Each structure stands twice: as C-alpha cells, then as structure tokens.
Amino acid sequence: MATAALVSVALAVTGCSDKIQVSSNQGSMRRAAEVFYQRCSGCHSLEAADAYGSAAAGNFASQDRTNGPNFNVRHVTREDALFAIRNGGFSGAIMPANVVTGAQARRVAAFLARYSGRQRGGDDVFGSGEQVP
C-alpha cells in the first residue's frame, strides 16, 4: 500500500504518466519517453509515451494550429528528429526551438526513431494528423 502511494506521489511530482509503454528496465529510452510526455505531448501523439496531442487522422475539423505530426503513424529518423528539436520543427513556425537540449535531445531523438511509425499512415501529413497550412 505504501509503495503504491509513493509511486503516485513520484508520478505527480515528476509529471510522468503511468501509462508510458516503455519499460523502466530500458533506462534511457524510458527517460526519453517521460521527457516526450512532459515536453511534447501537448502537440504530438505517440502511444509509447502516452502522448495524444495531434488531431485524429482525417479529422480536420478538430485540428488546431499547434497540431504536430502524429508519431504513431509518421516515422522519423534520429537525425530528422534532432534537426526538428534544435530548429523548431521543419518550418520553424510553431514548435519552440531547443524544447530539449544536449544529451536529453539526443535521447528523445533516438526514442522517436525507435518508436515512431508503428501504425499505418506513414509519412503522409494528412494521415499523420499534422496541421497543413
């Protein structure tokens, strides 16, 4: 009972989701999933990180200007993810540059490369739920 209370308090303090699908045994990948949840879930979706910020694919009426790609369907490479993190996405219009930095940015980029694109939809911006101007 006390252990469950401590876990609840720890999650509340750190702002981590208990529904992240990356095992705590996976060390840096788990920490990267937690950072993605904390810093990116407002605009991006990725089930592995319990993040649901993108509009539902095909539901254009519900899209906001801040909807970023749905990484459940869009696969990104580590290099592309790192570029986007450092430069505020690819357009530089909405995503803040350097939302995470240093080793943390490299871990998040590696996490995205490993876990993104696991569902149907591919790189199509409409299928990914990304806002298109």
- The reported pLDDT for the residue numbered 49 is 95
- The reported pLDDT for the residue numbered 14 is 47
Over range 92-104, report the average pLDDT. Answer: 89
Pairwise CA distance, residues 38 & 15, whole Å: 7
User: Do residues 69 and 41 make contact, with C-beta atoms less than 8 angstroms apart?
Assistant: no
Confidence of residue 62 (pLDDT cuts 50, 70, 90): low
CA atoms within 13 A of residue 31's CA, in its CB half-sphere: 8
Q: Where do the domains of the chain lie, and which CATH numbers do they carry?
A: 17-115 (1.10.760.10)
Quick: pLDDT tens for 9-54: 344 444 566 789 888 877 899 999 999 999 999 899 999 999 998 7
What one-letter code names the amino acid at 52? Y
Pairwise CA distance, residues 102 & 100, whole Å: 7
Q: What is the mean pLDDT of the chain?
A: 78
User: Do residues 130 and 89 make contact, with C-beta atoms less than 8 angstroms apart?
Assistant: no
Confidence of residue 69 (pLDDT cuts 50, 70, 90): confident
- For the question of whether the overall pTM of this predicted structure is more than 0.85, the answer is no
